[in-house]
Amino acid sequence: MPPSRPPPPPLALTLEKRVFDLLNAEILGLRLGPGEHIVTEAVAEALGVSRLPVREALRSLAGRGLIDMHAHRGAFIPRLGPEDLDRIVETVEARARLEPWAAERAAEHHDADQLAKLDRTLEQGFDALARGARPDANRAHREFLRVLTLMSGHATLIEVLEPLQYRTMLAFVSIVMTAEPEGWASHRVVRDAVADRDGAAASAEMGRHLAEVLDALRRPGNVVPSAMDRAAGRKGGRRPASHRIKALRLAEQDAADGGPPSPPARPAPGP
């Protein structure tokens, strides 16, 4: 008798994940920008679903640091502009404590498949830089950090670091540093140390790079609003829901491995 197949997941869970994946791709692809109001009813109407899976998807996004939930006001994509520099610095400070440990553990616990994935993110990042495709470089950078953190094999560390990394990425949509540390060369050094299973070297390089980022953030006058943030011209860091929400379709959702198509060029999120 052939082995029985596990029952399919409940329809509600499948739908919630599809809504989550779609909104996740829209936010990380910067098609739904920082400060934007995500209206549950508008998303549900656009997707042709009930409000329940949208609410659950938004709660999951909030857990990853991609959505701020406010009682009586709804869900907003976090916006951290130059006026929030102290919060941005605190977020990177927390990463600077945790990511070196993640790199050390990645060197000690990774397998060949994970290292191959890390190599692909480096190739994609350097290729995007050579082409001047900054949105593609942004996604490769985010994927590099995600894969490296997963390689640590430490569930709690992964759970804590992921929202910090996403928050930093969103912050660097609203700000730029006029003098910014070069990150990809450092990431290659981290990769090589991980491949050599040299945890101390991987940790030291990750810590050195993030210390440079913190120094650049703290340098007087070095942090300015991005072109995207200046163009928005919004008050109080809040934007109304965009027409993009009304145009959402579940059919636009991309496979998790492939990621969304490249959005128009925008300022590159930082390290």
**Per-residue model confidence as pLDDT tens digits over 221-260:** 999 987 766 655 544 445 555 677 877 887 644 433 344 3
pLDDT at 35 over 90: no
Task: Find how far residue 155's CA is from the centre of its chain.
Answer: 18
Task: Name the pLDDT band for 268 (thresholds 50, 70, 90).
Answer: very low
**Residue 157 in tokens:** 């560390």
Question: What is the predicted pLDDT for the residue at 251?
Answer: 62
**Residue 118 in tokens:** 């890390």
State the Cα–Cα distance between residues 192 and 196, nearest whole angstrom. 6
In this structure, the chain runs to a length of 271
State the Cα–Cα distance between residues 181 and 209, nearest whole angstrom. 8
Question: What is the predicted pLDDT for the residue at 64?
Answer: 81
Mean pLDDT, the chain, whole residue set:
83
Q: What is the pTM of this model?
A: 0.76
**Per-residue model confidence as pLDDT tens digits over 165-224:** 888 888 887 888 999 888 899 999 999 999 999 999 999 999 999 999 999 999 999 999
pLDDT at 54 over 90: yes
CA-to-CA separations, 205 to 1, 39, 158, 180, 183, in angstroms, rounded: 55, 42, 19, 17, 11
Q: Identify the H or E element spanning 53.
A: helix 51-63
Q: What percent of the chain has pLDDT over 70?
A: 81
Question: What is the predicted pLDDT for the residue at 264?
Answer: 37
Section 49-66 average pLDDT: 90
**Per-residue model confidence as pLDDT tens digits over 124-159:** 999 998 998 877 887 888 899 999 999 999 999 999
